[in-house]
Structure 1
Amino acid sequence: MAKQNCGNHTPIAGRNTMKESFEKKYHEIEKNHFWFKARRQYILQYLKNCPRNSRILDIGSSSGILLNELAEMGFERSNLYGVDISANAIRNCKENGIQNAFVMDAQNITLEQKFDIIIASDCLEHLKDDEKALKNWNSLLKADGTLLVFVPALMALWSEHDVENMHFRRYTKTELETKLKQNGFQISKASYWNFFLFLPIYAVRLLSRLNLFKKGKTGDLEDEMKFNSLFYNLINSENKLLKYINLPIGVSTYCIAKKQA
Structure 2
Amino acid sequence: MDKDYEKKYHELEDSHFWFKSRRNFIIQLLKNENKNSKILDVGCSSGLLLMQLVKNGFDKKNLYGIDISEEAIENCRKNNLNNCFVMSGENIALNQDFDIIIASDCLEHIENDNDALKNWKQNLKENGKLYVFVPAFMNLWSNHDVVNMHFRRYTENKLTKMAIKCHLKIKKSGYWNITLFIPLYIIRKINKLFLTKKLKQTKGDLYHIGVLNKPLLMLLNLENKILKYFKFPFGISTYIIAEK
- On the 8 A contact 1:33/1:225 being kept in 2, the answer is no
Instruction: Find out whether 1:26 has 2:9 as its counterpart.
Output: yes
SS of the equivalent of 1:82 reads: strand
Counterpart mapping for 1:197-216 below 5 A? 197-211=180-194
- On the 8 A contact 2:143/2:204 being kept in 1, the answer is no
- Displacement of 1:221 in angstroms is 2.6
- Displacement of 1:184 in angstroms is 2.3
Provide the aligned C-alpha RMSD in A. Answer: 1.5
> Which residue of structure 2 aligns with residue 108 of structure 1?
91
Structure 1: gaps spanning 5 or more residues: 1-17
- On the 8 A contact 1:153/1:252 being kept in 2, the answer is yes
Percent identity for Structure 1 against Structure 2: 54
> Which residue of structure 1 aligns with residue 52 of structure 2?
69
- On the 8 A contact 1:57/1:81 being kept in 2, the answer is yes
> Which residue of structure 1 aligns with residue 222 of structure 2?
237
Q: C-alpha distance in 1, partners of 2:138/2:115?
A: 22
> Which residue of structure 2 aligns with residue 45 of structure 1?
28
- On the 8 A contact 1:148/1:257 being kept in 2, the answer is yes
Aligned AA (2:15): N
* 129, 149, 158: which one aligns with 1:175: 158
- Displacement of 1:55 in angstroms is 0.3
The count of corresponding residues between Structure 1 and Structure 2 is 242
Instruction: Give CA-to-partner distance per residue, 1:146-173, whole Å, 9 cap, x none.
Output: 1111000000101111111111000011
Instruction: Find out whether 1:154 has 2:154 as its counterpart.
Output: no
Instruction: Give CA-to-partner distance per residue, 1:155-202, whole Å, 9 cap, x none.
Output: 010111111111100001100000011112111111111001100000
Q: C-alpha distance in 1, partners of 2:210/2:130?
A: 30
TM-score, reference length from structure 2: 0.95
Q: C-alpha distance in 1, partners of 2:70/2:57?
A: 27
TM-score, reference length from structure 1: 0.89
> Which residue of structure 1 aligns with residue 206 of structure 2?
221
- Displacement of 1:219 in angstroms is 7.8
- On the 8 A contact 1:107/1:133 being kept in 2, the answer is yes
> Which residue of structure 2 aligns with residue 55 of structure 1?
38
Instruction: Find out whether 1:255 has 2:240 as its counterpart.
Output: yes
Q: C-alpha distance in 1, partners of 2:207/2:161?
A: 36
- Displacement of 1:30 in angstroms is 0.1
Q: C-alpha distance in 1, partners of 2:224/2:114?
A: 28
Q: C-alpha distance in 2, partners of 1:19/1:185?
A: 33
